[in-house]
Chains A and B, each alone.
Chain A
Amino acid sequence: MVITPIHIEGKDKGKVMLYALSTCGHCRRTRELLNELGVSYDYLYVDQLSREEMDTVLREVEKFNPRGSFPTIVINGSHTIIGAREDEIREALA
């Protein structure tokens, strides 16, 4: 199953993937930060997916973050930042 995330254009700082929930304040703050940094990124609101899509994406998230919590940012498929950790996100995308 292919689930296409929503793409936001910006400066290329590598492939930035944000897994988030539409109802979560920390996730909202993280999106605002990425927008402020002006980087190119993709995001998915996992709570808005169908049950089947949700299972697929959650398995993907759990590879990087076994707790399956949100927000989870994966940079270039390897560097994972869990939670709205502003300093860490700024540093990784400087």
Chain B
Amino acid sequence: MTGSEIIPDVERRYQELNRDAERGGYHLNPDLSMTKGLIEGLLINKERYGYEACPCRLAFGTIEDDRDVICPCDYRDPDLSEFGACYCGLYLTGEKIADGTGAPAIPERRPSRSERKAKQMPGSGQEKTLPYPVWRCKVCGYLAARDAPPEVCPICKAKKDRFEIFIS
């Protein structure tokens, strides 16, 4: 698919993302030409890989390798807190929008390829001490004490596979 076939969908996706962002206490970048360019990138990646990988990161095309950079990525909220913007500039804080300087160039927070490979999966031999395990959304930090994570995070709309066991 070429970019030109995607363009009619950009406006629709922009409206959806903007609505979800505002409902969840987030804001899209008010620079519409940049924001819609990034959303076009998300749609191109959806077409290429089957999911909306961050347009400013190189996706590898397998969900195991790319899960942490599916938008909204695991690094959005830490970057919003530290820099007032997410890595690609799709999301800005209200404060950053007010100062009008736009999306800054910020350092990549995602670990390098070799660091990601070296990262061990958390141990699974913990004793269960609570009536329910606590699941944490890696995107926005939402916590849910229940047997399994919700299908979709009620706060940031990330899918179930973005949750990790926080306390069990």
Contacts and interface: CB of A to CB of B under 8 A. Distances in A.
A51 B58 contact: no
B144 to A, nearest CB: 32
A69 interface: yes
B57 A69 contact: yes
Interface residues of A, number: 23
B58 A54 contact: yes
Given A62-B112, A84-B105, A27 B58 contact: no
Interface string A10-42: 000000000001111111100000000000000
Contacts of B44: 22-23
Contacts of B45: 23
Contact of A25 (B59, B103, B113): B103
Nearest to B43: A23
B34 A46 contact: no
Contacts of B34: 25
Contacts of A83: 105-107
B33 to A, nearest CB: 9
A68 B41 CA distance: 19
Contacts of A26: 56, 88-89, 103, 105
A85 B107 CA distance: 11
Contacts of B108: 67, 69, 82
B37 A67 contact: no
Given A21-B55, A27-B56, A51 B40 contact: no
B107 A68 contact: no
A21 B56 contact: yes
A83 to B, nearest CB: 4
Given A69-B57, A70-B56, A25 B38 contact: yes
B110 interface: yes
Contact of A68 (B40, B42, B56, B112): B112
Contacts of B38: 23-25
